[in-house]
Structure 1
């Protein structure tokens, strides 16, 4: 494992565009995440970027992809999906020996056999034959990502099924594992089913036949229901999944016995390019099975031979292959997985057999020599693997460097990103597209691979060839202008020397590439339907569609309607004439949805240039219409004369979601059936509860004895617990790539501080250097760096808030309660989770630090923090008078001079970064002071634009909960306190002034009232209030409700704006006023109500409990 962990590390250290199937897997993960975020079905959605669009997850095992998507949600988008994808691959590859070891031990193999098998499992060398060798998974290899899951789960399923067969237990576990296997890799699930039949039959007797059949039937039924949402829609609509005639026949038929046995005998099957060490151990394992005749070894040998024979394929099996279920599209060459699985078991058995012989027949000294010799024998295996992985890392570095150095392509891709919708084309493998290889000597990646990496809709060589028309892309003729229109190729990236069709207009020319605008015509066009055909099979359809394409019918814009797999006749007569004067005034393309506003004076037909599938639904003016397939497997429908608004939408297969929830319910029920809750009897509870009182009281006394350490530690712990509770309910802001509004500018500032001079950062954001500088120095990704900085600042704020309240002699318990109330505020920890790339949390920490230093008379420390604050949130400079007002009565002259002295450096720094900026502003930037737009901000309030006067007044009451409401319960006490401590009066007034001139983010600006309000609530309130447990609980509940604790907040820009008082709709704000107003009145009533005054007995009881 250590060897693999080191050798495979380059797989996660950089995202390099893939040339293998991992390119599609990464794309599917990103599209699934987007589908989830936008409210689409992540189990079945449209992928428009490849193969003219296709519902990939309807036909492709998707549990491995959804694992990455869920991890992305759990990490709040802080780690990119591509990084998570690479991490999952890396962890599974490094951890594969653990799965092998555990499974072999569960099967009954010895520790030695399991250890040798586990080591051998990750060292197979099979020359890219799609087996368990890691050539199948690394960047240089084949990129069969889902097979990694299939490989792990195949071992686990074998162990679970063997337990069902031999012990009659573990039915639920076996069903769950087999269900997961079916959702991860259909072919490997197929192999597991055949293996299960052998396990059922091996050792079958009259005595156990009924029990075995029932148990295996139960496993199959449960696994089938759990995975039904995958395989039921798959088989129901399998006719729309391409069976490519261009795929190498050996993929379907395999290689035959002579070839495969030759590989096995020569060692090439398991030890390609090295000494056949593992092959030799396999041979020893076979001998051990025959010699010892151990039941487990014989079973393993039988299964190895079975899969070896099935791997021979059609050249050897002939008509017998047709006896296998689903034989028509079966990929026999993938049965190498079954061979490898049982070869690993036999290799482990062979190594253990040799170990036993050495242990019993040689002395300890000779045994050590044998062990050393064994290690030496394995050196060629490790050397070959190290060489392969080293070449893989080298190829990745060279490829990444070549792409990064290609500034011409970067310019072209930037220009392409700014164009309107349409497919791009960068050549094919059969033409000049093959030459766009970045000058890489081993020719790994082409420009059309980069299009997939950047999620650009493209006409490119298909990776998997899933859509019916994907094979027709090989016939795309870039010399024919009509084919650009047919495939909606709107942009072409070609070398300057390429000869292309006429009518292409250059958009951008560089020495290496030219970006052309091509006559794509748009995703939707009127068209003529000339005739109808009814192909009886997919090959017949393909020959007809290819003949249509090569025959030039696209030039005349006449399509063929195909009645292919139609359950009922289409009530649309043909031919349909082309619209004489078509007009399409509006088109909008989204993943899985197209909106069109079109006009035609006559009855006509419209063609959407996306792959036909029966799950497409088209509405015309709100009424659904029939759709049909036209060449080349496009979506079409008839239109009456006139102007129409058309919406085409891909919808998930009707039964998929229902089956998913059924499967999830069955899986949860199966898991629940294995859980046995043991609830103590009530009498036991009565004896247990009193015994807890003593430890609780001892813990309380211990905290009070060490309050100076335990109190702040508990405050930090409360904030950490709040963070953990809030995190699952708080998604990341989504717009601007998860950066939000200002966050995008702070990300640019971080880039600039890291030396990227291509970004321009405008003031005043460019003056707030401290947070971005910390993140830049950390080397972390911007969003992750800011979140960690925010988390540390929030935990530090909890400590400082506790310290602030303790300065006012607030009891430790009440100080901790105040920290808890603060931690749940919407603009506190939750804001840091939701919108991390902001200086707000660090600014609040610095604010509290300045307050504590001022209260404790630490003038020099105050001055140092104020300098940092001036480079974080410049409005914190206004806290200088707070220090002066706090101490001026003691020594007016001395305090004034000292206050000016500690404040001067911050003011100088404030001015220095503006007149001598660290990050220069853009050349056209004029006046940094104008960027604050103070006059505009004042107009918004004083003229009540967009009800902003009300937003300004209501922001604090609607976001600060009981912190804002309770001080109004004792107005006289509050007024007296402010007269005595003018610094707090100044601070409150200053906060409202800063919010008035600072901008229209009233929630964020007035959040800083929390320290003052916490002092007002917990220092001024009568002590009798906090001695009443029910009132503390009631006020806390009201506070949680008022601050919208765990209130759902969405990730889109619109949902974000509806969450903040400064931008939400007026109706929503009015509703919040009623809601929070009622809670505030309830809180004031509870605070003022003293039940003890109403009942002497109640007062005595309260005093006794206190």
Structure 2
């Protein structure tokens, strides 16, 4: 299309402003990128996981297990796969870059380009260009006391990396749904593809996307009913695209961890508390004048006055009401909340993201209306242009100052943790542990240090509570030799505390850190010979306190609790009545391990059990001299196999199901094929369209 000389096309001004906004973010992030390991609670875990996946992908592995955290995690059994896999793949493809830098670059690029996706999503939803541009620019302007929603501190302070990836895709998925089924100017597979990508980036943001699309479909029911076959095909395709991940997740839910604690955060807020958080400015303008809150209020008034007959307004209001109610959680709705589909283990405070999104849209309406009013009453164009320029400059200066303040990284010259890691790496046959009471409870010591040392650490709060119940047992471990043997702990790390916990002995000091070792740890490892003891049946999460009370006393007699997990069942305990006491006769002769397997050469009496002190999951298989054997699930959440007697080689290996691998490959190829087909078709159509001559 031709344009008058000297006149910019309509898309150019938003593109220029969004590019400047992106450059401001990148400039403010330069000290963060130039530094060392990033701050942000969960960042260390996401960094370590991405690095682990890069090693697996580089070796050609297609099975995903991570031993460094919480007694061993089956990856993506509960956690969304896409951001971590993309991080690992990028690290594998750029071995010349530091993994720390690669991860931080991904964090920065996601946030720096987020206003672009929000602008595009708003345009796809039919929002006018000016209002959509304001929404995009405001998407990084929220300031909240609670670092879990649509705010930069959710990443800089809390480290919610996968949530930011979901938020990046969220407006595109909703906008594509609108274009495919309401405007009908986009082919429906785009809606399926973008929804699947959003869901696989962050499960909760995918849930929000589903709620928004369902409400929008309800308010446009006639259009949906006219194309119900296409709509049904969209739903089926979206599910099939995620099936390789969702189906195994649903089939193994009995082994997931769930919410850590039912406190104010995880129990939900009262409806009054949520209202006060927004009315008082704490949810939108923490630490500053309530500018965004005022514009959001003005936007709501303006929308009710000017758009009261628009279906979009009613859908947005209903979305806000639903989110406000669901944020009440168990605090407001009791156990009814847990019975809602996909909500038993959802943190209700996550719905703050939805309410902040609604407020952001309202603020964009309010600010756009205010600017339009200024343009109507002020006739001096020069003054208007200067005012707009000053407003944008002030906005970007404010953004620059905020971003450079909150995104922080360790100094590159700080090598203290690397020196500690070098010492810990000398013993990879035992786990080490840290503890808040002893000055080593932060995310660097729980998650980043195991990555540096390539050694398993007992317990972390990142990822683990979602993925395994074992975090509960590791958190409440008793510091006595028998319990430490059960969990295969050989070292303890403290900081600024000279006296170690009683069973440990001081080994070495590195700066303020103290490494303490357990002298008798050389007598054990990841394997132990045991006998079957008391049997426990029922829901694994309900059995946790019973297992915790019995495991150490049982292990004193070298017996293990035998678990029979039945999801939702009432606990049933069958006490051990056997007269066998003491450890079974035998000896573990040799052990080996790899990222996906554990091997032991053992001699033992017939009927003895060999226990592997790694989290049980249905994808583990065990072979004795190459012959597959049944796996016993034993307490706290480990595995065992019955030995036939004599000398044998026992090998445990983690294998994702072949159907899951084929499904993942099919999803990837189908998505890639559709993109190639759609862009190729558009390119061919563009070449066939004659260029309009301009005079």
TM-score range, shorter chain: 0.7 to 0.9
CA contact (8 A) 1:250 1:333 kept: no
Change in CA separation of 1:286 and 1:305 when aligned onto 2, cut-off 3 Å: farther
Q: 2:423 and 2:679 mapped to 1: Cα distance?
A: 58
Alpha-carbon shift at residue 78 of structure 1 (Å) = 1.6
Give the secondary structure class of the aligned counterpart of 2:409.
helix
Q: 2:511 and 2:664 mapped to 1: Cα distance?
A: 53
Alpha-carbon shift at residue 634 of structure 1 (Å) = 0.7
Alpha-carbon shift at residue 174 of structure 1 (Å) = 0.9
Give the secondary structure class of the aligned counterpart of 2:66.
coil
Runs of 4+ in 1 over 6 A off after TM superposition: 381-384
Q: Does residue 463 of structure 1 match 2:456?
A: no
Q: Does residue 524 of structure 1 match 2:527?
A: yes
Residue of structure 1 in register with 2:432 after alignment: 424
Q: 1:351 and 1:6 mapped to 2: Cα distance?
A: 26
Picking from 269, 282, 294, the partner of 1:268 is 282
Picking from 244, 263, 277, the partner of 1:229 is 244
Change in CA separation of 1:372 and 1:542 when aligned onto 2, cut-off 3 Å: same
Residue of structure 1 in register with 2:183 after alignment: 167
Alpha-carbon shift at residue 273 of structure 1 (Å) = 1.2
Change in CA separation of 1:450 and 1:36 when aligned onto 2, cut-off 3 Å: closer
Picking from 11, 29, 37, the partner of 1:16 is 37
The structure, 1 or 2, with the larger RCO (C-alpha pairs under 8 Å, 6+ apart) is 2
Give the secondary structure class of the aligned counterpart of 1:57.
coil
Alpha-carbon shift at residue 13 of structure 1 (Å) = 1.4
CA contact (8 A) 1:288 1:349 kept: yes
Q: 2:427 and 2:540 mapped to 1: Cα distance?
A: 37
Q: 1:390 and 1:511 mapped to 2: Cα distance?
A: 29
TM-score for both structures, normalised by structure 2: 0.86
1:479-494 alignment to 2 at 5 Å?
Answer: 480-494=480-494
Q: 2:335 and 2:264 mapped to 1: Cα distance?
A: 16
Residue of structure 2 in register with 1:544 after alignment: 546
CA contact (8 A) 2:40 2:155 kept: no
Choose between structure 1 and 2: higher helix proportion. 1
Alpha-carbon shift at residue 669 of structure 1 (Å) = 4.8
Query: Which stretch of the first structure deviates more once superposed, 90-99 or 17-26?
Result: 17-26
Residue of structure 2 in register with 1:741 after alignment: none
Residue of structure 1 in register with 2:628 after alignment: 624
Change in CA separation of 1:525 and 1:316 when aligned onto 2, cut-off 3 Å: closer
Residue of structure 1 in register with 2:97 after alignment: 79
Q: 1:511 and 1:34 mapped to 2: Cα distance?
A: 31
Structure 2 unaligned blocks of 5 or more: 1-20, 569-575, 689-695
Residue of structure 1 in register with 2:128 after alignment: 110
Alpha-carbon shift at residue 546 of structure 1 (Å) = 1.3
CA contact (8 A) 2:45 2:443 kept: no
1:288-299 alignment to 2 at 5 Å?
Answer: 288-293=302-307, 295=310, 296-299=312-315
Q: Does residue 331 of structure 1 match 2:312?
A: no
Q: 1:646 and 1:323 mapped to 2: Cα distance?
A: 43
Q: 2:34 and 2:195 mapped to 1: Cα distance?
A: 33
Superposed CA RMSD in Å reads: 3.1
1:641-652 alignment to 2 at 5 Å?
Answer: 641-652=645-656
Alpha-carbon shift at residue 316 of structure 1 (Å) = 3.7
Change in CA separation of 1:209 and 1:387 when aligned onto 2, cut-off 3 Å: closer
Q: 1:646 and 1:384 mapped to 2: Cα distance?
A: 61
Residue of structure 2 in register with 1:31 after alignment: 52
Q: 2:165 and 2:390 mapped to 1: Cα distance?
A: 31
Count of paired positions: 646
Q: 1:412 and 1:165 mapped to 2: Cα distance?
A: 57
CA contact (8 A) 1:17 1:450 kept: no
Q: 2:451 and 2:667 mapped to 1: Cα distance?
A: 33
Residue of structure 2 in register with 1:259 after alignment: 273
CA contact (8 A) 1:113 1:350 kept: no
1:685-764 alignment to 2 at 5 Å?
Answer: none
Q: 1:301 and 1:678 mapped to 2: Cα distance?
A: 37
Q: 2:505 and 2:153 mapped to 1: Cα distance?
A: 43
CA contact (8 A) 1:155 1:341 kept: no
CA contact (8 A) 1:601 1:642 kept: yes
Change in CA separation of 1:108 and 1:541 when aligned onto 2, cut-off 3 Å: same
Q: Does residue 217 of structure 1 match 2:232?
A: yes
Q: 1:36 and 1:159 mapped to 2: Cα distance?
A: 34
Residue of structure 1 in register with 2:61 after alignment: 40
CA contact (8 A) 1:616 1:650 kept: yes
Q: 2:605 and 2:339 mapped to 1: Cα distance?
A: 57
Alpha-carbon shift at residue 47 of structure 1 (Å) = 0.3
Choose between structure 1 and 2: higher strand proportion. 2
Alpha-carbon shift at residue 676 of structure 1 (Å) = 5.8
Alpha-carbon shift at residue 165 of structure 1 (Å) = 3.2
Alpha-carbon shift at residue 374 of structure 1 (Å) = 8.5
Residue of structure 2 in register with 1:247 after alignment: 261
Residue of structure 2 in register with 1:182 after alignment: 199
Picking from 632, 637, 643, the partner of 1:639 is 643
Alpha-carbon shift at residue 598 of structure 1 (Å) = 0.4
Q: Does residue 3 of structure 1 match 2:24?
A: yes
Q: Does residue 396 of structure 1 match 2:396?
A: no
Residue of structure 2 in register with 1:902 after alignment: none
Alpha-carbon shift at residue 26 of structure 1 (Å) = 1.1
Alpha-carbon shift at residue 187 of structure 1 (Å) = 1.0
CA contact (8 A) 1:428 1:474 kept: no
Q: 2:405 and 2:229 mapped to 1: Cα distance?
A: 51
CA contact (8 A) 1:289 1:301 kept: no
CA contact (8 A) 1:127 1:135 kept: no
CA contact (8 A) 2:557 2:581 kept: no
Give a deviation string over 1:558-580, Cα, whole Å, max 9, x none: 2110111399xxxxx99576544
TM-score for both structures, normalised by structure 1: 0.55
Change in CA separation of 1:280 and 1:161 when aligned onto 2, cut-off 3 Å: same
Alpha-carbon shift at residue 322 of structure 1 (Å) = 5.6
Change in CA separation of 1:118 and 1:512 when aligned onto 2, cut-off 3 Å: closer
